[in-house]
Structure 1
Amino acid sequence: MHKALYRAYRPQTFKDVVGQEHIIRTLKNQIDNDNIGHAYLFSGTRGTGKTSTAKIFARAVNCLNSVNLEPCNECEVCKDILNDSIMDVVEIDAASNNSVDDIRELRENVKYSPTKSKYKVYIIDEVHMLSQGAFNALLKTLEEPPSYIIFILATTEPHKIPATILSRCQRFDFKRVTVKDMMLRMKNICEEEEIEAEDKALNLIARNSQGALRDALSILDQCISFGDNKVLYKDAVELLGTVNVEQLFKMSQNIIDQNTKESLQDLNEFVIWGKDIKQLINDLIDHFRNLMVCKVSNELDEIISLPEEIIDKFKLQSKKVDTNDLIRILNILSVTQDTMKTASNPRVLAEVTMMKIAQPMFDESKEALIKRIENLEKVIESGSIKIVSSKEEVITADNNTIEQEEVIYEEVKSEDVKLIEASWKNILQKIKKDKKMPIYALLSEVRSFNVHANMLYIVFDDNFSFAKSKLSSVDTIQYIENVVREILNRSFSIKIVLKSEVNNIELEIKEESKDKGEEILKNIVSETILEIKDSIHENQE
C-alpha cells in the first residue's frame, strides 16, 4: 500500500525539520542546559512542522542515547514513542476532545509519574478548539505542574487562546517555509524516490503551497501519480488549475496595453479550458505584485521566489508600466478577490474587472484619473487630434452672401468606441437572454458606432432605415440604454442613425480660423489637465 509522501518523509530528527532553524536551536540549547520549560506553545500555519517538532522534542528529552542533542530513534524509549506504545507521551486532538470532562481526565492522569521515561509529555493539537470551561480547567494544571510534566500546545490560531494560558507558555512561532527550502526538500525526496522532476514544476508546487511543506508534498504526490513517476510543469499546471506563466505574461501585457478586447478574449480562453476564475485572479495579483517589486527593488532573490529567467521577464515587462498604474490594477484585483468569495457569477465579475483594469475610464480612483490624464497627453502629443475647416455660405440681413468658416473636431477611433465594439457581443447576449428577439435581430446588423458628449450613436447602413424607425421608440431606446449601463457599468444616451447621417453628428467648434482653432483647443485641454493635476496634488497634501 502506498504511503503518502508527507507521512513517509515526516521529520524524525531536529535536522530534518525544514525552515525552522530559530526554533530548533532554542529547543536544543534548552536540552543541553537542562533548562526545559513546563509549557510550550507552537503556533503557525498548517504544514510547517509544529506537531512533528513536538514529537521530536518529546523523544529528545527522553532519549537514552542522545547524540548531538538529537533523539537516536533506536533506544527502547524512542522506539516506544515512535510506535505509540508508551503512555508517557500523549497526543490529544483538541478538536474532538474539547470538553471540560476531557481536560479533567487529563488533570487526573498528570498526577501519575512517567513509567519508562524522564518526562511525561502532553501534546495538545489545535488547542484553540478547547471550550472556555476546558481552558479554565487546563489553567490550574499549567500554573503548578509536577516537575516531570511538559505540555506542548499546538495551534494555527493563537489569537483564540486566552491570555491567561498564553502567559504561562513559552511561545514559538513557526514561519511559513520558503519556496527555496521547499524546492530543496522536494528535490531530495525525488532523488531518493528516483523520480525525474522539472525545476519549474517544483517551483510552481512550492509557490502554490503558501508556505505549508505538507501541502507541497501532497501536491508532489499527486503529480508523481499523474505523470507516471515524472513531475512535469505542464502536469502541475493542469492539476493545480493555475495559469501557465507564458499565458499570464500575455494577458498582463494586454492589460498594460489597455487592450480590452484581447484581455476579455484571454479570460474567455481560460474559462473554456476549465481554469478556476478565482485562481486566475489570485495569479494576476501575484503577477502584478511581482511587477511592482521589480519597479522598486533590484534585490529580488528573497522577495520573488521564481527561476532567474522568469525574473528577467518580469524586469523587462515592468519597464513598460508605471508604478501608479500597478497600484491601480492591484487595488481593483484585491477588491475583486474579496468579492469573488460570495459572487453568484464569478465570470461576469471577472469580465468587469478586466474592463476596469484595462480601461482607467471605468475607475474613479486617483490612480485611474492620473492614468487618464497621461492617455490624453499622449493623444495630444501624437497628433491624433486634428482640426478640419469647412466653409458655409450665410445670407446676412442686407442680403449679402458671406462665407463663414466652421471648424470640425475630428478624433481617431476613441476609447469609448473601442469599448462598445469589444462589449457589443455581451450586450447582444443580454438582449437575447431577455428574449427581446426583434431588438436582438436588428442590432445584430450594426456595423459601426460613434460616441460624442456621452451620446452613443448606433450606426446602420443606409438600407436599414426600417431598423432605425423600429428601434427609435422611447421605450426601446430606454431598454437599450439600461442594457448598456448594466454590461458596461457606465451610462450612455443612445441615438439610432444611418451611415449617411454620421457627418452631421460630429462636434462643431466654430472659431475664426483653422490655426486659431487648433491653438485654442490645445490650450483648453492643457489648462484642464493642469487643473486636474493641481486638484490631485491638493488632495494628496
Structure 2
Amino acid sequence: MHKALYRSYRPQNFEDVVGQEHIIRTLKNQIENNNVGHAYLFSGTRGTGKTSTAKIFARAVNCENSVDQEPCNECEVCRDILNDNVMDVVEIDAASNNSVDDIRELRESVKYSPAKAKYKVYIIDEVHMLSQGAFNALLKTLEEPPSYVIFILATTEPHKIPATILSRCQRFDFKRVTVKDMTTRMQRICDEENIEVEEKALNLIARNSQGALRDALSILDQCISFSDNKIEYKDAVELLGTVNIEQLFEMAQSIIDQDTKKSLHILNEFVVWGKDIRNLINDLIDHFRNLMVCKVSTELDEIISLPEETIKQLKEQSKIVDINDLIRILNILSETQDNMKTSSNPRVLAEVTIMKTAQPMFDESKEALIKRIENLEKTIESGNITINTRENHISNNEIVIEEEEPKEIVYENVKSEDVKLIESSWQKIRQKIKEDKVNKQMPVYFLLGDVSGFNVYNNNLYIIYGHGFEFAKKRLSNPETISYIEQMIRETINRSFSIKIILESEVKDIELEIKNDKMDKGEELLKSIVNEDILEIKDNEEKQE
C-alpha cells in the first residue's frame, strides 16, 4: 500500500521542520536551559508543522541520548513514542473528543506519574473545537499542573480559544511556509525518490498550496502518480487546473495592448479546456500584482516567489505598462474576484471583466479616465488626425473627423439632476407600490420594471418604453393610474411631476417639441431684451431733443 509523501517525510527532528526557525530556536533553548514550560499553544494555518513540532518536542524532552537538543529517535523512549507504544505521550483529537467527560478523563490520568519517560506530554489537536464546559474543565489542570506534565495545544483558529486558556500558555505562531522553502524541500524529496522534476512545476505546486507544506506534498504525490517519475510543468498545470505561465503572459499582454478580441479568445480557450474561471481571475490578480511590484521595487527576491526566468519576463512586461493602468486593472479584477463567489454565470462575469480591463472606455473609474486621456494624447502627438466631409467614423489608432453637408450642430444629451434623481430612486418607488396593501397595484409594479429610460422637462416626467411595450403604455396611461404613480413618486422622493408615458419611437417628436419650445422661449426673451433696449434708446433720444 502506497504511503503518502507527507506521512513518509514527516519531520523526525527539529532540523527537518521547514520555515519555523524562530519557534525551533526557542524550544531548543528551553530544553538546553532546563526551562521547559507546562503549557504551549501552537497556532497557524494547516500544514505548517504544528503537530509534527509537538511530537518532536515530546521526544526531545524525554530523549535519553539527546544531542544538540534533538531527539535521537534511537533510544527506547524515542522508539516507543514513535511507535505509539508508551502511555506517557498522549495525542487527543479535540474535534471528536470535545466533551466535558473527555477532559475529566484526561484530568484523572494527569494525576499519575510517567511510566517510562521524564515528562507526560498531552498533545490536544484542534483544541478550539472543545466545548465551553470542556474548556472550563481543562482550565484548572492548566492552572496548577503537576511538574511532570506538559500540555501542547494546537489550533488553526486561536481566536476561538477563551482568554483564560490563552493566558496560561506560551503561544507560538507558525508562519506560512515560503514558496522558496517549499520548493527546496520538494526538490530534496524528489531527489531521494529518483524523480526528475522541472523547477517551474515545483514553483507552481508551492504557490498553489498557499503556505501549507502538507498540501504541497499531497499535490506533488498526485503529480508523481500522473507523470510516471518525471514531473513536467504542463503536468502540474493540468492537475491543478491553473493557467499556463505563457498563457498568463499572453493574456496580460493582450489586456495591456487593449486587444479585446485576443483577450476574449484566450478566455474562451481556457473555458473550452474545462478550467475553473475563478483560477484564471486569481492568477491574473497575482500576475498584475507582480507587474506592479516590478514597477516600484528592484529587490524582488522576497516579494515575488517565482523562478528567475519568470521574474525577468515580468520586468520586461512591466516596462510597457504604467502604474496607473495596473491599479485600474487590479481594482477591476479584485471586484470580480468578490463577485465570483455569488455569481450564477461566472463566464459572462469574466468576459465583462476582460472587456473592462482591455478597454478603458467601458470603465468609469478615475484611472480609466486618465488612461483614455493618455490614449487621446498619444493619438494627437502621432498626428494621425484627418478631416473629410462625408461621414463620421473612428478607426484603430486614428481619429477621423468628417463633416456632413449641410453642417448640423448636434448637442450631447446630458442627464439632468432630475433624471439622475428618478433613476436612483426608481427601485424605491416600485418597492413602495409593491408594499401598498391598500390599493394593491402589483400590475403597475411589474410594468414599471420594464422602463427603458426617463426624461424630465418643464416638470413633466417622461417614462419611456422600448419597442413592443405598447400594451404597457396603454395600461399605464389611464388617468387614475397616472395619478397613482405621481402620488407614489411624490411620497417617495418629495417631488411633484406630471407623468407622461411614451415609446422610444416617440422620443424624437417629444425632443423636437422641447427644442421648439426652448427656441420660442429664447426668441421671446430676445425680443423682450431687444425691445427694452430700443425703448431705452428712444427715451434717451427724446431727452436729448
Q: Same fold (TM over 0.5)?
A: yes
Tell me, in whole angstroms, the C-alpha distance in 2 between the residues paired with 1:452 and 1:77: 91
Tell me, in whole angstroms, the C-alpha distance in 1 between the residues paired with 2:33 and 2:320: 58
Q: Is the 8 A contact 1:387 1:409 kept in 2?
A: no
Q: How far apart are 1:266 and its partner, in Å?
A: 0.9
Q: Is the 8 A contact 2:263 2:354 kept in 1?
A: yes
Q: How far apart are 1:3 and its partner, in Å?
A: 0.6
* Seq. identity, %: 81
Q: In structure 2, what is the equivalent of residue 393 of structure 1?
A: none
Q: In structure 2, what is the equivalent of residue 506 of structure 1?
A: none
Q: How far apart are 1:494 and its partner, in Å?
A: 9.5
Which consecutive unaligned segments of at least 5 residues does structure 1 have?
391-407, 417-450, 456-472, 479-492, 496-541
Q: How far apart are 1:262 and its partner, in Å?
A: 1.2
1:449-491: CA deviation from partner (whole Å, max 9, x where unpaired): xx99689xxxxxxxxxxxxxxxxx951699xxxxxxxxxxxxx
TM-score (norm 1): 0.73
Q: In structure 1, what is the equivalent of residue 34 of structure 2?
A: 34
Change (3 A) 1:319 1:16: same
Q: Is the 8 A contact 1:387 1:410 kept in 2?
A: no
- SS for the counterpart of 2:275 is coil
- SS for the counterpart of 1:176 is coil
Tell me, in whole angstroms, the C-alpha distance in 1 between the residues paired with 2:381 and 2:276: 42
Q: In structure 1, what is the equivalent of residue 320 of structure 2?
A: 320
Q: How far apart are 1:376 and its partner, in Å?
A: 2.5
Matched to 1:130, the amino acid is: L
Q: In structure 1, what is the equivalent of residue 275 of structure 2?
A: 275
Q: In structure 1, what is the equivalent of residue 55 of structure 2?
A: 55
Q: In structure 2, what is the equivalent of residue 96 of structure 1?
A: 96
- SS for the counterpart of 1:87 is coil
Change (3 A) 1:410 1:454: farther
Q: Is the 8 A contact 2:60 2:66 kept in 1?
A: yes
**Any residues of structure 2 matched to 1:91-130 within 5 Å, and which?**
91-130=91-130
Q: Is the 8 A contact 2:121 2:151 kept in 1?
A: yes
Change (3 A) 1:190 1:474: closer
Change (3 A) 1:494 1:9: farther
Which consecutive unaligned segments of at least 5 residues does structure 2 have?
400-409, 415-464, 471-502, 506-545
Q: How far apart are 1:412 and its partner, in Å?
A: 2.8
Matched to 2:63, the amino acid is: C
Change (3 A) 1:313 1:362: same
Q: Is the 8 A contact 2:294 2:315 kept in 1?
A: yes
- SS for the counterpart of 1:475 is coil
Tell me, in whole angstroms, the C-alpha distance in 2 between the residues paired with 1:452 and 1:56: 79
Tell me, in whole angstroms, the C-alpha distance in 1 between the residues paired with 2:468 and 2:244: 44
Change (3 A) 1:270 1:3: same
Q: Is the 8 A contact 2:290 2:314 kept in 1?
A: yes
Tell me, in whole angstroms, the C-alpha distance in 2 between the residues paired with 1:109 and 1:365: 65
Q: In structure 1, what is the equivalent of residue 534 of structure 2?
A: none
Tell me, in whole angstroms, the C-alpha distance in 2 between the residues paired with 1:364 and 1:131: 51
Q: In structure 1, what is the equivalent of residue 141 of structure 2?
A: 141
Q: Is the 8 A contact 2:42 2:50 kept in 1?
A: yes
Tell me, in whole angstroms, the C-alpha distance in 1 between the residues paired with 2:468 and 2:313: 50
Q: In structure 1, what is the equivalent of residue 395 of structure 2?
A: 412
Between the two proteins, the alignment pairs up a number of residues equal to 414
- SS for the counterpart of 1:112 is coil
Q: In structure 2, what is the equivalent of residue 475 of structure 1?
A: 467
1:152-195: CA deviation from partner (whole Å, max 9, x where unpaired): 01111111111111111111111111111111111111111111
Tell me, in whole angstroms, the C-alpha distance in 1 between the residues paired with 2:232 and 2:83: 36
- SS for the counterpart of 2:467 is helix
1:115-143: CA deviation from partner (whole Å, max 9, x where unpaired): 11111111111111112222122111111
Change (3 A) 1:162 1:299: same
Q: How far apart are 1:76 and its partner, in Å?
A: 1.1
Tell me, in whole angstroms, the C-alpha distance in 1 between the residues paired with 2:191 and 2:129: 39
Tell me, in whole angstroms, the C-alpha distance in 1 between the residues paired with 2:466 and 2:332: 36
Matched to 1:183, the amino acid is: T
Tell me, in whole angstroms, the C-alpha distance in 2 between the residues paired with 1:86 and 1:193: 32
**Any residues of structure 2 matched to 1:120-199 within 5 Å, and which?**
120-199=120-199
Q: In structure 2, what is the equivalent of residue 441 of structure 1?
A: none
Matched to 2:395, the amino acid is: V
Tell me, in whole angstroms, the C-alpha distance in 2 between the residues paired with 1:106 and 1:318: 59
Tell me, in whole angstroms, the C-alpha distance in 2 between the residues paired with 1:312 and 1:97: 52
Q: How far apart are 1:252 and its partner, in Å?
A: 0.5
Q: How far apart are 1:231 and its partner, in Å?
A: 1.0
- SS for the counterpart of 2:300 is coil
Change (3 A) 1:127 1:452: farther
Tell me, in whole angstroms, the C-alpha distance in 2 between the residues paired with 1:131 and 1:452: 71
Q: How far apart are 1:144 and its partner, in Å?
A: 1.0
1:248-287: CA deviation from partner (whole Å, max 9, x where unpaired): 0000111111111111111001000111111111111110
- SS for the counterpart of 1:151 is strand
Q: Are residues 1:367 and 2:367 paired? A: yes
Tell me, in whole angstroms, the C-alpha distance in 1 between the residues paired with 2:411 and 2:333: 30
Tell me, in whole angstroms, the C-alpha distance in 2 between the residues paired with 1:350 and 1:415: 29
Q: In structure 2, what is the equivalent of residue 214 of structure 1?
A: 214
Q: In structure 1, what is the equivalent of residue 293 of structure 2?
A: 293
Greater alpha carbon shift after TM alignment, 87-96 vs 333-342: 333-342
Q: How far apart are 1:16 and its partner, in Å?
A: 0.8
Q: Is the 8 A contact 2:379 2:398 kept in 1?
A: no
* Runs of 4+ more than 6 Å apart: none
Q: How far apart are 1:366 and its partner, in Å?
A: 2.0
Q: Are residues 1:379 and 2:365 paired? A: no
Change (3 A) 1:415 1:217: farther
Change (3 A) 1:351 1:454: farther
- SS for the counterpart of 1:91 is strand
Q: Is the 8 A contact 2:186 2:217 kept in 1?
A: yes
- SS for the counterpart of 2:11 is coil
Q: In structure 1, what is the equivalent of residue 352 of structure 2?
A: 352
Tell me, in whole angstroms, the C-alpha distance in 2 between the residues paired with 1:143 and 1:220: 43
